[in-house]
């Protein structure tokens, strides 16, 4: 795993929406049918705004040299087996190509774990994309 110095993970703000849209479109092109014209930037912006502004939801962004290089959107949800047990699920997780297989992934997952723990949540479930497939990683907070 390549270690990258200078990565800062922070909560996204409304000022990040334009860069989040660029990352969202890259995610779409890489994981969906590239021939599809169904990417709706307005809807993606609405989703990002909702995630940023709603309690129990958050977008964490990784920043390097003033540019966003990754984002991880989190949602507090009930566990599938008991509505009284809250867990964190990822809404989406993206890291720019040049930063994959690096310390950025670990740093972002640690920030998500901290977010979950600070909310008193039991675990964080991440879908880690591997090409067009995912593996689910369950991380205790």
Render pLDDT for 64-98 as a digit per residue (tens, 0 to 9). 999 999 999 999 988 888 888 888 888 888 888 88
**Res. 116: pLDDT tops 80:** yes
Which residue, 42, 43, 45, is CA-closest to 53? 45
DSSP code of residue 15? G
CATH superfamily, region 8-140 = Gcn5-related N-acetyltransferase (GNAT) (3.40.630.30)
Q: What's the CA gap between 20 and 11, in Å, rounded?
A: 12
Assess whether pLDDT exceeds 50 at residue 118.
yes
Residue 33: exposed, middle, or buried by beta-carbon count in 10 A (0-12, 13-18, 19+)? exposed
The pLDDT value given to residue 127? 59
Alpha carbons 17 and 50: distance in angstroms, whole number: 11
pLDDT in tens, 20-49: 999 888 888 877 765 666 788 899 999 999
- pLDDT at position 112 is 87
The values of phi and psi at residue 100, to 5°, are -75, 160
pTM equals: 0.83
Categorize the per-residue pLDDT at 138 as very low, low, confident or very high, splitting at 50, 70 and 90: low
Q: Are strands 82-95 and 123-130 parallel, antiparallel or unpaired?
A: parallel
Q: What are the extents of the domains in the chain? A: 8-140
Please report the pLDDT score of residue 31 as a whole number: 75
Please name the residues in contact with 123: beta carbons below 8 A apart, sequence gap of 6 or more. Answer: 87, 88, 116, 138, 139, 140, 141
């Amino acid at each position: 795993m390549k270690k990258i110095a200078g990565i800062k993970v922070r909560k996204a703000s409304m000022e990040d929406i334009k860069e989040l849209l660029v990352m969202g479109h890259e995610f779409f092109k890489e994981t969906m049918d590239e021939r599809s014209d169904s990417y709706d930037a307005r809807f993606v912006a609405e989703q990002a705004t909702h995630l940023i502004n709603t309690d129990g939801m958050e977008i964490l962004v990784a920043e390097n040299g003033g540019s966003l290089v990754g984002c991880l959107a989190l949602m507090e949800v009930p566990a599938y087996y008991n509505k009284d047990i809250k867990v964190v699920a990822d809404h989406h997780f993206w890291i720019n190509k040049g930063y994959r297989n690096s310390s950025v992934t670990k740093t972002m997952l640690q920030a998500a774990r901290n977010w979950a723990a600070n909310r008193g949540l039991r675990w964080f479930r991440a879908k880690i994309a591997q090409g067009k497939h995912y593996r689910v990683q369950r991380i205790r907070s």
